[in-house]
Each structure stands twice: as structure tokens, then as C-alpha cells.
Homo-oligomer: A and B are copies of this chain.
Amino acid sequence: MDPKRRTFLKQAGVATTVAVAGGAGALKTEDVRAAGAGNGAQPSSPTMPRNLTLLTLRNGEAYSLGVKTERGILDVKRAVKALKSNAPTTMDALIAGGDQGLTDLVGRAVAGANAKGLFLEETNVDFGPCVTNPEKILCVGLNYARHAREVGQPVPKLPILFNKYNNALNSHLGTVRVSRIPAERFDYEAELVIVIGRRARDVSEVEALSYVLGYANGNDFSARDLQSRSSQWMIGKTCDGFALLGPYLVTADLVGDPNNLKIECMVNGEVRQSSNTNDMVFNCAQLVSYASKLMTLEPGDIMFTGTPEGVIGGYPKEKQVWLKPGDRLTTSIEKLGELRFSLA
């Protein structure tokens, strides 16, 4: 890596190291605060869960928390009732309030002699997006050098940040309804997703990963024709369902180094992207630190960290066959499982 890049944050950042609360936006209404933590308090630095593979269960119109265990998927809501726990029962509450007895509950359920009814077969699970209510969905553009080159762009000297909104959130086994969208050039982008676990403002690269709750498999689904309609990419990135996320949110301790993970994307069984997160231009610590100097990051914020080479947009024009209804996509990232979704 260019040694200049290693120190870019020092130049880009501010001098102060005071960690302070965010702007007015960091305040929540009483109702939302109560919802987040379940008790009216929303600590900015909750005790982050460890050693857990988390997921969101969809129950009709509602979401609740699941944990992948050796006995199957623990339905936390059922377990809380059966085992008389106060652990959080939604991903939102877990992220906002911290572990609060979840680890203990999982241990008791797994060890329990009569806990069988608390577990679901994973094949029967209806998944929600593994993060359901982020304040921010950050995305990083052109963050793999070979991808930047394949689309004819220079390798960036600083991270290029843009966004999706929460209408874009979508799930493992979800569907992107491309036929509803006024566009034609649909494309995939397999991406590692960072999930923030503690409020982060102006944090250094060295401490940045200590603010990360965990990681998820993601696909920054894109409509290239909308993306290039103006100078701003957003409308090609935030159509309904364009932020695929899951199946799991794996806590950071289980992942270890996020910048040495195999990452792949397949379309109808054919491998289209195959790379490693060690090819990122700016690594995860640099990205979190950089963003935290520009805006206060909150627990639950997520960041799509960029895609490796192999997207359709990078093909020679005569070989560009855009995605269409009926296509089935799979994104695989080492340690994070397989995210599968389809188009309609």
C-alpha cells in the first residue's frame, strides 16, 4: 500500500481528540429512546455482544432477534419468556442497549434440557435484514483498485462516501423487485458490511475497530443507468430493496481481521466476483476512522465497504448483459455465510 495512504487520515482529520456527543440529531424523541433500549435510556456506548452469530427473524409484519447456535436458531423472544430473562428481543434493542443478559440467555437455552421448543430449524426461518434500523447506511465507492480500473476510474486518494436510505434494506432470501424500478442496467456488488456498535466521533485508525459490533455479508445492488443519470450516484443505489444484508451479523471477535476475507458473488450459479477484502484501497479501520471525523457514527450505523472487480458495469460494452427478473444471486464472504436473493 502507498505509505501516503496510511497517513491520509492525519491530514484529512481534525486536530482535536475530544470525544463528545453528536449534534442535535443525536437526540432522540422520548418514544424512540424508550423503544431503543427498552428502558428509556440509550447509552452511547452499550456493552457490545461478543461471540454471537445474530440474525433478524421476520414474523409477519414484525422483526425479532435470533441467534445461530449448535442447536439451531434460538428464538430470543420465546427464550426470554420461557427462561424469564430481560435480554433484548430485537436487533434494534440489542444494538442500542448492549448485551443486557443475551449471552447468558443463549448459554442457558443451549444447555437447557427442555429448551427444544426455543430453537428453529434454520431452513424454516424467515429472515429480516440483519440490521433493521440504522441511522446511516454509508457506502464506499471504488474501494478495490481493480474495480476502480475496470470501470475506468482512478484509484481514489481518499474514500468516496455515499449513502442508501432504509427503504433499501433487504434480507437473506429476499427479492429485489427490479421490474417496478424505472431502470434497466441492474448490477451486483458483493461487499463486506461493517456494523457500528458504539458512538464514534473523531476516532483514530488504531482505535477504530473497537467501535465495530460486527460484520455482515452485503450486496450494494445498483441500477447503473440511474447511478449515472446525474453526478450523484444515490438514486441508482437506494431503490427499494437495494441494500441486501445478511444472513448474519457476526460479532467482531468471531471475525478477527476483517481485511483478510475471501469474497465472492455468483449469478445463477456462475462466479462473477472472486476476491479478498485484503485488496481494499482503504481498510476497515481507515474507513471507520475517516467517516467518524466527518460525522458522528451511532450504534447500528452500517457501512458497505466497496466491491471488488467483476461487476457487469466493468465488462466490455458488448458483453454487458444486465441482471433481470428471475436471476438468483449469491454473495459469500468467509466467516459470514452466504447471502442469497433473487430478482423479480
- List the B side residues contacting A167 at CB < 8 Å: 22-23, 25-26, 135-136, 295-296, 298
Please measure, in the bound complex, the distance between the C-alpha atom of A26 and the C-alpha atom of B177, giving whole angstroms.
14
- Whether A25 and B240, one on each chain, are in contact in the complex, defined by CB atoms closer than 8 angstroms, is yes
Candidate in A38, A174, A239 with the most chain B CB atoms within 10 angstroms: A239
Asked whether any CB of chain B lies closer than 8 Å to the CB of A294, the reply is yes
Contact check, B62 vs A166: say whether CB atoms are below 8 A apart: no
CB <8 Å contact, A180 and B16:
yes
Instruction: Provide the bound-state CA to CA distance between A287 and B315, in Å.
Output: 34
A33, A234, A296 interface centre (most CB from chain B within 10 Å): A234
A305 at the interface (CB under 8 A from B): no
Interface residue A255 (Cβ < 8 Å from any Cβ of B): no
A34 at the A/B interface (Cβ < 8 Å)?
yes
Interface residues of A in 186-237 (CB under 8 A from B): 201-202, 226, 229-235
- Residues of chain B contacted by A16 (CB below 8 angstroms): 180
* A146: Cβ under 8 A from any B Cβ: no
Q: State the CA gap A129–B35 with chains docked (Å).
A: 20
A238 to B170, CA, bound (A): 24
Contact A141 B232 (CB under 8 A): yes
* B25, A129: Cβ atoms closer than 8 Å: yes
Q: How many Å lie between the Cα of A226 and that of B93 in the bound state?
A: 34
Shortest CB-to-CB span from A243 to chain B, Å, is: 7
- Cβ B31 vs Cβ A35 within 8 A: yes
Selected from B31, B61, B91, B166, the residue in CB contact (under 8 A) with A92 is B31
Q: Say if the beta carbon of A251 comes within 8 Å of chain B.
A: no
The answer to whether A161 touches B29 (Cβ under 8 A) is no
Would you list which residues of chain A between 1 and 34 have a CB under 8 Å from chain B? 12-14, 16, 20, 22-34
**Inter-subunit contact A232/B180 (CB<8 Å):** no
Q: Which residues of B contact A181 (CB under 8 A)?
A: 14, 294
**How many positions in chain A have a CB within 8 Å of any CB in the partner chain?**
77
A306 lies within 8 A of chain B by Cβ: no
Q: How far is the CB of A73 from chain B (nearest CB, A)?
A: 17
Question: With the chains together, A128 CA to B25 CA distance in Å?
Answer: 9
Beyond A13-B182, A23-B167: 7 further Cβ-contacts under 8 Å? A23-B177, A28-B132, A28-B133, A29-B63, A141-B232, A160-B232, A235-B294
Is the CB–CB distance between B12 and A182 below 8 Å?
yes
Q: When each residue 164-175 of chain A gets 1 if its CB lies under 8 Å from chain B and 0 otherwise, what string results?
A: 011111110010
Jot down 18 A-B pairs with beta carbons below 8 A, ordered by A: A12-B182, A13-B182, A24-B169, A24-B171, A25-B168, A29-B90, A29-B92, A29-B133, A30-B62, A30-B64, A31-B36, A156-B230, A158-B229, A163-B165, A167-B298, A180-B202, A226-B294, A235-B295
